[in-house]
Amino acid sequence: MKKIGFILLFSLLMTGITFAQKQPAMDFEKTEHNFGTIKEEIGAVTTRFEFKNTGDTPLIIQRVASSCGCTTPSYTREPILPGKEGTISAQYSTVRRPGTFNKTIRVYTNVPDTVYVLTIKGNVTPRK
Q: What average pLDDT does the structure give for the chain?
A: 90
SS3 for 82? coil
User: What residue ranges define each of the domains in the chain, with the CATH number in brackets?
Assistant: 23-125 (2.60.40.10)
- pLDDT at residue 12 above 60? no
22 vs 11: which has the higher pLDDT: 22
Contact 111/79 with Cβ under 8 angstroms?
A: no
Strand order in the sheet with 71-75: 26-28, 44-53, 85-93, 71-75
Which distant-in-sequence residues (6+ apart) come within 8 Å of 127 by Cβ?
A: 39, 40, 41, 98
Mean per-residue pLDDT, 9-21: 53
Mean per-residue pLDDT, 77-88: 98
Contact 41/88 with Cβ under 8 angstroms?
A: no
Categorize the per-residue pLDDT at 18 as very low, low, confident or very high, splitting at 50, 70 and 90. Answer: very low
**What was the pLDDT predicted at 128?**
81
